[in-house]
Amino acid sequence: MTLPVPPTRKPTPPHGASRAHGKRTFRQNLTRGVFIVLGAILVAVALELFLVPNSITDGGITGISVMASYLSGWKLGIFLFVLNLPFLIVGYKQIGKTFALSTLLGITVLSIGTVLLHPVHAFVDDTLLAFVFGGIFLGVGTGLVIRNGGSLDGTEIIAILVSRKTPFSVGEIVMFVNLFILSGAGFVFGWDHALFSILAYYIAYKMIDVTIEGMNESKSVWIISDRIEDIGNAILDRLGRGVTYLAGEGGFSGDPKKVIFCVITRLEEAKLKEIVNQFDDKAFMAVGNIHDVKGGRFKKKDIH
Report yes or no: 51 and 138 within 8 Å, Cβ to Cβ.
Answer: yes
pLDDT tens-digit map of 137-175:
999 999 899 888 888 888 877 877 787 788 877 667 877
Cα 143-196-200 angle, rounded to 5 deg: 10
Residue 300's nearest CA partner among 230, 235, 222, 213 is: 213
Task: Look at residue 304 in the predicted model and tell me its pLDDT.
Answer: 39
Q: In tens digits, what is the pLDDT along the chain, a chain of 304 residues?
A: 444 444 444 444 444 444 444 445 788 889 899 999 999 999 999 999 999 999 898 888 999 999 999 999 899 999 999 999 998 888 887 777 888 888 999 999 999 999 999 888 877 888 889 989 999 999 999 989 988 888 888 887 787 778 778 887 766 787 788 888 888 888 888 888 888 888 998 898 888 877 876 655 678 999 998 899 999 999 998 888 889 888 887 777 777 888 999 988 777 888 899 899 999 988 999 998 876 666 665 554 443 3
CATH 3.30.70.120 residue ranges of the chain are 218-290
Residue 117's contacts (CB-CB under 8 Å, 6 or more residues apart) are 44, 45, 48, 49
Query: What confidence score (pLDDT) does residue 300 get?
Result: 47
Evaluate whether the domain defined by 218-290 bears CATH number 3.30.70.120: yes
* 87 class by beta-carbon count within 10 Å (0-12 exposed, 13-18 middle, 19+ buried): buried
CA separation, residue 15 to residues 4, 6, 8, 19, 34 (Å):
22, 21, 21, 9, 30
The predicted pLDDT at position 4 comes to 40
Q: What is the pLDDT of residue 23?
A: 45
**Residue 13, pLDDT score:** 46
149/100 Cα distance (integer angstroms): 9
